[in-house]
Amino acid sequence: MIQIEAVHIREFRGIRDLEIKPGCKSFVISGPNGSGKSGVVDAIEFALTGEISRLTGKGTVGLTVQRHGPHVDRRDDPAEAEVALTLYIPEANKRAVLTRNVKTAKNFTLNPDEPQIRAAIEETAQHPELILSRREIIKYIIVEAGERSKEIQALLKLEEIGDIRSVLGTVKNRLSAAFTSAEKDVNNANDALRRHLDVKALSGAEILAAVNVRRKILGLAEIKELKADTSLNAGVLEGGSPQAFNKQSALRDLAALQDVQAEFATLGEKQVAAILKDLTILEEDPKLLDTITRRSFVERGLALVDGTLCPLCDKDWEDEEHLKQHLRAKLAKSQEAEKLQKRLLGNAADIADHAGSISVLVSTIQPLAKTDGPEGFIGVLSRWFEHLTTLAKSLSTVEQVLGKKDQFAAGWIAAPAELKTQLEQLTEIIKSKPDQSASVAAQTFLTLAEDRLIGCRRALRVKKHAATAEEAGKAVYKTYCDVAEEYLGALYAAVEDDFSTYYREINADDEGGFKAKLEPTEGKLDLAVDFYGRGMFPPGAYHSEGHQDGMGVCLYFALMKRLLGEGFRFAVLDDVVMSVDQAHRKQFCKLLKMRFPDTQFIITTHDKVWAKQMQMEGLVEAKAGVAFYSWSIQTGPIFEEITEVWDQIDADLAKNDVPTAASRLRRHLEYSAAELADQLGAKPTFRADFSYDLGDLLPAVIGRQGELLKLAAKAANDWKDEGAKLKVEAMKTARAEVLAAYGGEGWVMNKAIHYNDWADFSTAEFKAVVSAFKDLLLQFRCPKPECDSWLYITPRKGDPEVLRCRCMGLNLNLKPK
Partner 1 sequence: MATIQSEILDSFYTQLSTSETVDVAMIDGLRKLFESGDKLKADDIIAILTKKHEEGTL
Q: Which residue, 29 or 456, is less far from partner 1 as judged by CB?
A: 456
Rg, the chain, Cα only: 43
Beta bridge partners of 6: 86
Q: Which listed residue (160, 641, 757, 786) binds partner 1 by CB under 8 A? A: 160
Interaction of residue 115 with partner 1, rule CB under 8 A: no
Q: Which listed residue (167, 255, 273, 493) binds partner 1 by CB under 8 A? A: 167
Q: Which listed residue (6, 97, 154, 171) binds partner 1 by CB under 8 A? A: 171
Q: Which listed residue (205, 262, 472, 508) binds partner 1 by CB under 8 A? A: 472
Interaction of residue 598 with partner 1, rule CB under 8 A: no
Q: Which of residues 532-571 bind partner 1 (CB under 8 A)?
A: 562-565, 567
Q: Which long-range contacts (CB under 8 A, 24 or more apart) does 72-79 make?
A: 72/633, 73/633, 74/11, 77/11, 78/102, 78/103, 79/103
Coil, helix or strand for 449? helix
Interaction of residue 482 with partner 1, rule CB under 8 A: yes
Q: Rounded CA gap, 814 and 792, in Å? A: 12
Q: Which listed residue (213, 281, 329, 483) binds partner 1 by CB under 8 A? A: 483
User: In angstroms, what is the minimal distance from the CB of 660 to partner 1?
Assistant: 50
Output the DSSP codes for 176-212: HHHHHHHHHHHHHHHHHHHHHHT-SS--HHHHHHHHH
Give φ, ψ of 38 to 5 degrees: -65, -25
Residues with Cβ within 8 Å of residue 397, at least 6 apart in sequence: 296, 345
Q: Which listed residue (174, 270, 393, 433) binds partner 1 by CB under 8 A? A: 174
Q: Which residue, 483 or 741, is less far from partner 1 as judged by CB?
A: 483
Beta bridge partners of 84: 8, 99
Coil, helix or strand for 6? strand
Beta bridge partners of 15: 12
Q: Rounded CA gap, 20 and 29, in Å? A: 10
Interaction of residue 163 with partner 1, rule CB under 8 A: yes
Interaction of residue 383 with partner 1, rule CB under 8 A: no
Interaction of residue 464 with partner 1, rule CB under 8 A: yes
Q: Rounded CA gap, 37 and 70, in Å? A: 16
* Cβ atoms within 10 Å, residue 390: 13
Coil, helix or strand for 710? helix
Q: Which residue, 480 or 646, is less far from partner 1 as judged by CB?
A: 480
Coil, helix or strand for 30? strand
Q: Which residue, 160 or 760, is less far from partner 1 as judged by CB?
A: 160
Interaction of residue 431 with partner 1, rule CB under 8 A: no
Q: Rounded CA gap, 99 and 48, in Å? A: 9
Interaction of residue 24 with partner 1, rule CB under 8 A: no
Q: Which listed residue (270, 333, 431, 461) binds partner 1 by CB under 8 A? A: 461
Q: Rounded CA gap, 775 and 793, in Å? A: 21
Q: Rounded CA gap, 806 and 318, in Å? A: 46
User: In angstroms, what is the minimal distance from the CB of 60 to partner 1?
Assistant: 29
Residues with Cβ within 8 Å of residue 554, at least 6 apart in sequence: 499, 502, 503, 506
Q: Which of residues 193-212 bind partner 1 (CB under 8 A)?
A: 202
Q: Which of residues 292-311 bind partner 1 (CB under 8 A)?
A: 306
Q: Which listed residue (24, 117, 175, 702) binds partner 1 by CB under 8 A? A: 175
DSSP 8-state class, residue 33:
T
327, 302 Cβ separation under 8 angstroms: yes
Interaction of residue 417 with partner 1, rule CB under 8 A: no
Q: Residue count at the site for partner 1 (CB under 8 A)?
A: 48
Q: Which of residues 304-343 bind partner 1 (CB under 8 A)?
A: 306
Q: Which residue, 490 or 583, is less far from partner 1 as judged by CB?
A: 490
373, 250 Cβ separation under 8 angstroms: no
Q: Rounded CA gap, 152 and 159, in Å? A: 10
Stretch that binds partner 1, among 62-70, 224-232, 286-294, 397-405 (CB under 8 A): 224-232
Stretch that binds partner 1, among 171-179, 345-353, 409-417, 515-523 (CB under 8 A): 171-179
Q: Which listed residue (125, 154, 226, 349) binds partner 1 by CB under 8 A? A: 226
Q: Which residue, 24 or 459, is less far from partner 1 as judged by CB?
A: 459
Interaction of residue 720 with partner 1, rule CB under 8 A: no
Q: Which of residues 118-147 bind partner 1 (CB under 8 A)?
A: 123
Residues that bind partner 1 (CB under 8 A): 123, 156-158, 160-161, 163-164, 167-168, 170-171, 174-175, 202, 226-228, 306, 453, 456-457, 460-461, 464-466, 468-469, 471-476, 479-480, 482-484, 486-487, 491, 562-565, 567
